[in-house]
Amino acid sequence: MTEPAPNPLATLEWYLYGLRSWGLSHYPRVRSGNTAVPQVSLRQPAPNFAPPSPATTVTVPPSSPTTSVASLPAEPFTWEPDPSDDPAEGLRALHQELGDCRRCGLASTRTKLVFGTGSPSAALVLVGEAPGREEDLKGEPFVGRAGRLLDEMLGAIGLARNEVYITNILKCRPPDNRDPAPPEVSACAPYLRRQLPLLKPRVLLTLGRFAAQTLLGTSAPITRIRGKIFWVGPTILVPTFHPAYLLRNPKMKGLVWKDLLLVAALLRGEPAQQ
């Protein structure tokens, strides 16, 4: 017996229903009958998504309620794609090289080093700040309450954890989940600089203030830079709030939903449209 073709309207209804458990109450109403579901519109298009010239240095503009392309201040996180055709092997070799890392003081307080997890060929890479308590115990990023919320966020745009790659700026947990110290970032960032070229992501989604500021080379608050897209190296970067922040401030989930819609559009190869 031939299975019926998937019903796009039923699929959309399923995703919108699933968003209820994520805490969203304001989302588009699904139309009934044969009425077409409207396309999501994102304001202020990115002109051809062309990256700015490496010589151009401008400040991050003030926050805006609409989507825009923003250029970066000096010292953003840059890299070139790795020519290797086997990212999985490259990541294994890098993980092995990292070994029982002793390059900073966090080695004396961590339980497990947290390298990263997910698909080596993922189009979307998520970068957080540092492992938390549960991540430190299990050796995998985003496995606590914030990680479960992150899984729901990904599911809301039709992605599973094993279809993306997840990592952090730091590979070891800072005591009491404090902010990473500059010497710790200096010791650990070179490994992220080598991870990203192997992964060759189409889109980077930074989670939280620290990850966005580190990759963009800016001190601008996350409230000023989310809702925009940036070029970092050869990759488009979208900043958003950290899932742990959303657990404390659920009213911000609506803004994160807009960021997720932007990520989904970029992954489909669609420019932001007015």
The number of beta carbons lying within 10 Å of the beta carbon of residue 251 is 8
Assess if residue 120 is contained within a domain. yes
Q: Tokens 């897209």 label which residue?
A: 229
CATH code of the domain in which 193 resides: 3.40.470.10
Assess if residue 103 is contained within a domain. yes
Q: Is residue 92 domain-shared with residue 16, that is, in the same domain?
A: no
Assess if residue 272 is contained within a domain. no
Q: Is residue 118 domain-shared with residue 196, that is, in the same domain?
A: yes
Q: Is the pLDDT of residue 101 over 70?
A: yes
Average pLDDT over residues 169-193: 92
| Residue 167 confidence class, pLDDT cut points 50, 70, 90 | very high
Calculate the average pLDDT of the chain.
Answer: 78
Per-residue confidence (pLDDT) for residue 272, from 0 to 100: 54
Per-residue confidence (pLDDT) for residue 207, from 0 to 100: 98
Assess if residue 273 is contained within a domain. no
Q: Is residue 77 domain-shared with residue 10, that is, in the same domain?
A: no
Beta strands 228-232; 68-69: pairing state: parallel
Number of folded domains that form the chain:
2
Assess if residue 221 is contained within a domain. yes
Q: Is residue 198 domain-shared with residue 132, that is, in the same domain?
A: yes
C-alpha closest to that of 164 among 135, 203, 213: 203
Average pLDDT over residues 102-108: 90
Per-residue confidence (pLDDT) for residue 270, from 0 to 100: 86
Q: Is residue 155 domain-shared with residue 225, that is, in the same domain?
A: yes
Q: Is residue 13 domain-shared with residue 145, that is, in the same domain?
A: no
Q: Is residue 92 domain-shared with residue 17, that is, in the same domain?
A: no
Q: Is residue 111 domain-shared with residue 224, that is, in the same domain?
A: yes
The number of beta carbons lying within 10 Å of the beta carbon of residue 76 is 19
CA distance 258 to 253: 9
Residue-wise pLDDT for 205-246, tens only, equals 999 999 999 999 999 999 999 999 999 888 999 999 999 999
8 A C-beta contact, residue 195 and residue 170: no
Distances (CA, A) of 252 to 4, 24, 131, 136, 242: 39, 10, 22, 27, 10
Residue scoring higher pLDDT (72 or 258): 258
Provide DSSP, 56-105. ---PPPPP-SS-EE----SS---------S-HHHHHHHHHHHHSS--SSG
Residue-wise pLDDT for 1-25, tens only, equals 443 444 444 444 444 544 554 555 4
Residue scoring higher pLDDT (273 or 150): 150
8 A C-beta contact, residue 232 and residue 216: yes
Q: Is residue 190 domain-shared with residue 203, that is, in the same domain?
A: yes
Per-residue confidence (pLDDT) for residue 84, from 0 to 100: 74
Assess if residue 274 is contained within a domain. no
Q: Is residue 5 domain-shared with residue 90, that is, in the same domain?
A: no
Q: Is residue 85 domain-shared with residue 168, that is, in the same domain?
A: yes
| Residue 183 confidence class, pLDDT cut points 50, 70, 90 | very high
Per-residue confidence (pLDDT) for residue 266, from 0 to 100: 96
Q: Is residue 101 domain-shared with residue 63, that is, in the same domain?
A: yes
Q: 14 lies in which domain range?
A: 1-38
